[in-house]
């Protein structure tokens, strides 16, 4: 039987907020028609940041890199190495294909990199330089031809650490632009910014809505909402560890759900006590406590299979498994953005350094998609080739009849003309070609 030790006091409404949609739509239209002038006006309005060109110069980029201490540079290099290695290993799994399905008929596919990618790196509340690794580096490994980045100013100034991360990841162009105006400038292009074909990277509700509205004009990585975390644990771990991992993600924002699923009532009660204690000393407690109060849950299950079922129902962005047999969840769960297996790892490792991508599906989207990965920056494009007259006539005869079954005479003639030319058969115009042996 499943019961709640703690229930959420609020819920995150699904769908879109009409007021946000209206505001974002107006801002997108302003940038589309106003170009650089509109981008500058919006940057001044929302970020209090004004300059002639928002593209950073080589000197500014070099200066930002030079502000790093030796330790900071080493740490950034280490994180980017891990992300690059995993992205490259993922790419190596993707193979081009060519097969002869019947004699003379060649079918294949190629994995073609998207040529122009725009990466958004959030930085208004926290300078989230890790998002530069996750987007720019992954696009680079995919082989994308041009990768540009936008990040907002941090406290009214260019964020040196974000710029350094963008540059070290391999960005071709770096802009100090935030919010809807940044996303719009990349998608539509301006007098000085060439448009991109795809947008990637997380952002606030306005950035997320801008990406949603621009989808179709450009590709996007995925729709990303507030950070979510789910901890699955049994009595092999203690309440302090569980509470630490729940609050570590709740500090993202007051709208960040944090959920514990366990089969131990003692662990559930201990976790509640530890959360109360830790909120008394956590520097970001004002945010984390509100998130926990409104959206925190503790779900008590009787069996491991109930825990799996509940976890799949929640379909969380991050799922941390701290049980005696974490691989049971790896082998049986189907709905999650990323799994963190065992007490030695945690979501923060994935967010910053371990190598898997941190741009992941939220709001139950894990039911139908995974997160950002090198494959998102590749188009799997098919091709076909026929190498013999006999094969062209054979496919043509089948194609002729199948087209006319659907009432497409013009389609049928594309097949018939080849039956006539390569098969030497007299097929009446817009009529079905008979079987080869007839």
Long-range contacts of 236-240 (CB under 8 A, 24+ apart): 236/322, 236/323, 236/324, 236/343, 237/267, 237/322, 237/343, 238/267, 238/270, 239/267, 239/269, 239/270, 239/271, 239/272, 239/273, 239/274, 240/270, 240/274, 240/278
Asked whether residue 114 falls in the same domain as residue 166, the answer is: yes
In a domain, 86, yes or no: yes
| pLDDT on residue 17 | 81
Mean pLDDT by 10 residues, the chain (438 residues): 91 74 97 97 96 97 98 97 97 98 98 98 84 96 98 92 97 97 98 98 93 97 91 98 97 94 98 98 96 97 97 98 98 98 97 95 95 97 98 97 98 98 96 84
pTM above 0.85, yes or no: yes
Residues 258 and 330 in one domain: yes
**CATH number of domain containing 248:** 3.40.50.1980
- 135 within a domain of the structure (yes/no): yes
CB-CB contact of 180 with 203 (8 Å): no
Q: Is residue 12 part of a domain?
A: no
**Same domain? 194 vs 285:** no
Tokens 């131990």 sit on residue: 264
Which pLDDT score is estimated for 7? Answer: 94
Q: What is the dihedral of CA 83, 89, 91, 94, to 10 degrees?
A: -150
* pLDDT at residue 318, as a whole number: 98
pLDDT for the residue numbered 1: 86
Q: Determine, yes or no, domain membership for 4.
A: no
Q: Which residues carry out catalysis?
A: 317-318
Same-domain pairing of 217 and 235: no
Q: How far apart are alpha carbons 54 and 278 in whole angstroms?
A: 42
Cα 163 to Cα 363: distance, rounded to the nearest angstrom: 30
Residue 216, classified by CB atoms within 10 Å of its CB into exposed (0-12), middle (13-18) or buried (19+), is exposed
User: Which domain-ending residue is among 354, 380, 406?
Assistant: 380
If one counts the domains in the chain, the total is: 3
Does residue 411 have a known ligand-binding role?
Answer: yes
Helix (H) or strand (E) holding 191: none
**Do 186 and 234 fall within a single domain?**
no
Tokens standing for 29? 């239209």
For residue 433 the two structure tokens come to: 């070609």
* 74 is annotated as contributing to ligand binding: no
Q: Indicate whether 23 belongs to any domain.
A: yes
User: DSSP 3-state assignment of 99?
Assistant: strand
Is 204 annotated as ligand-binding?
Answer: yes
406 annotated among ligand-binding-site residues: yes
CA separation for the pair 21, 206 (Å, rounded): 8
233 and 328 in a single domain? The answer is: yes
Kindly state whether residue 199 falls inside one of the protein's structural domains: yes
157 and 28, same domain (yes or no): yes
- What phi and psi, each to the nearest 5 degrees, are found at residue 3? -145, 160
Q: Are residues 215 and 230 in the same domain?
A: no
Q: CA dist 254 to 25, 201, 244, Å?
A: 25, 21, 17
**Signed CA dihedral, 182, 188, 194, 199: sign only:** positive
Same domain, 136 and 206: yes
Residue 7 counted as an annotated binding residue: no
**How far apart (Å, rounded) are the C-alpha atoms in residues 13 and 20?**
13
Residue 138, marked binder: no
pLDDT of residue 10: 80
- Do both 179 and 302 map to the same domain? no
Is there a domain that residue 230 lies in? yes
Domain housing 43: 18-221+376-380
Asked if 210 and 87 sit in the same domain, the reply is: yes
Instruction: Identify the domain boundary among 368, 397, 418.
Output: 368
Are residues 252 and 275 located together in one domain of the fold? yes
Does residue 206 have a known ligand-binding role? no
316 in a structural domain: yes
> How buried is 8 (Cβ within 10 angstroms: 0-12 exposed, 13-18 middle, 19+ buried)?
middle
């Amino acid at each position: 039987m499943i019961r709640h030790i703690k229930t959420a006091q609020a819920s995150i409404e699904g769908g879109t907020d009409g007021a946000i949609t209206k505001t974002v739509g107006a801002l997108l239209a302003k940038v589309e028609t106003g170009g650089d002038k509109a981008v500058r006006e919006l940057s001044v309005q929302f970020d209090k940041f004004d300059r002639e060109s928002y593209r950073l110069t080589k000197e500014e980029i070099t200066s930002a890199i030079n502000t790093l201490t030796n330790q900071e540079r080493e740490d950034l290099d280490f994180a980017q190495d891990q992300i690059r290695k995993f992205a490259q290993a993922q790419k190596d799994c993707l193979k081009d294909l060519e097969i002869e399905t019947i004699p003379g008929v060649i079918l294949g596919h190629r994995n073609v990199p998207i040529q122009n990618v725009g990466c958004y790196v959030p930085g208004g509340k926290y300078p989230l330089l890790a998002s530069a690794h996750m987007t720019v580096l992954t696009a680079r490994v995919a082989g994308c031809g041009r990768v540009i980045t936008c990040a907002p100013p941090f406290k009214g100034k260019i964020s040196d650490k974000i710029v350094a991360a963008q540059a070290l990841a391999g960005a071709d162009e770096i802009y100090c632009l935030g919010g809807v105006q940044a996303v719009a400038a990349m998608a539509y292009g301006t007098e000085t910014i060439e448009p991109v074909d795809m947008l990637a990277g997380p952002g606030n509700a306005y950035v997320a809505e801008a990406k949603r509205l621009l989808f179709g004009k450009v590709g996007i990585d995925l729709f990303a909402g507030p950070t979510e975390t789910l901890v699955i644990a049994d009595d092999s771990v203690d309440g302090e560890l569980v509470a630490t991992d729940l609050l570590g993600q709740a500090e993202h924002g007051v709208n960040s759900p944090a959920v514990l699923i366990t089969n131990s009532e003692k662990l559930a009660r201990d976790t509640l006590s530890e959360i109360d204690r830790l909120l008394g000393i956590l520097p970001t407690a004002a945010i984390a406590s509100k998130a926990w109060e409104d959206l925190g849950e503790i779900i008590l299950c009787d069996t491991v299979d109930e825990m799996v079922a509940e976890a799949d129902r929640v379909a969380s962005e991050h799922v941390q498994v701290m049980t005696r047999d974490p691989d049971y969840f790896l082998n049986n769960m189907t709905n999650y953005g990323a799994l963190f297996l065992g007490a030695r790892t945690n979501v923060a490792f994935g967010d910053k350094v371990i190598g898997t991508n941190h741009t992941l599906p939220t709001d139950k989207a894990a039911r139908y998609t995974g997160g950002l990965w090198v494959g998102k920056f590749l188009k799997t494009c098919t091709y076909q080739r026929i190498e013999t007259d006999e094969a062209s006539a054979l496919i043509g005869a089948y194609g002729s009849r199948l087209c006319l079954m659907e009432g497409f005479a013009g389609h049928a003639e594309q097949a018939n003309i080849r039956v006539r030319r390569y098969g030497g058969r007299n097929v009446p115009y817009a009529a079905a070609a008979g079987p080869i042996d007839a």
